[in-house]
């Protein structure tokens, strides 16, 4: 397992984890503001799990929006997922160019 921390001023996930770990924990600190995170390209992430945590817990509004790269989807047809304050969500790759949760 590898842990990566993202913030509104530094929301880029790609390049912050190594290819050795299959489980990546992504800690999203939206205390200052809401922000968006782009999932990595599925074709480069065989059998990998990303677990996102939004650690902001003081109310609502500072959501983290998780999006796949263009041409890929989350679950059946979703193009984004909203991670509300204090919540978590796990995303896994499959063989059909979609992220499953």
pLDDT tens figures, 15-40: 899 888 889 999 999 999 999 999 98
Report the chain's mean pLDDT, rounded to a whole number: 89
Tell me the three state secondary structure of residue 96: coil
pLDDT at site 95: 65
Q: Are strands 35-38 and 2-6 parallel, antiparallel or unpaired?
A: unpaired
pTM metric for this prediction: 0.90
CATH of 2-100, one of 3.40.50, 2.60.120, 2.170.120, 3.30.70: 2.60.120
| Arithmetic mean of pLDDT, 86-94 | 90
Has residue 63 got a pLDDT over 80? yes
Band (51; pLDDT cuts 50, 70, 90): very high
6, 9, 15, 19 alpha-carbon torsion, rounded to 10°: 0
Percent of the chain with pLDDT over 90: 54
Domain ranges of the chain: 2-100
Provide the b/e sequence for 46-78 (b: ≥16 CB within 10 Å).
Answer: eebbbbbbbebeeeeebbbebbbeeebebeeee
Please tell me the predicted confidence (pLDDT) of residue 99. 83
Confidence of residue 57 (pLDDT cuts 50, 70, 90): confident
Closest CA to 57 of 25, 84, 34, 33: 84
């Amino acid at each position: 397992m590898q842990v990566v921390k993202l913030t509104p001023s530094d929301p880029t996930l790609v390049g912050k984890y190594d290819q050795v770990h299959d489980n990546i924990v992504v800690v999203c600190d939206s205390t200052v503001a809401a922000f968006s995170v782009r999932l990595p390209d599925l074709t480069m992430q065989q059998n990998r799990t990303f677990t996102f945590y939004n650690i902001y817990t003081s109310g609502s509004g500072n959501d983290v929006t998780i999006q796949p790269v263009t041409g890929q989807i989350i679950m059946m047809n979703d193009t984004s997922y909203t991670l509300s304050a204090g919540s978590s969500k796990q995303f896994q790759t499959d063989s059909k160019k979609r992220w499953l949760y």
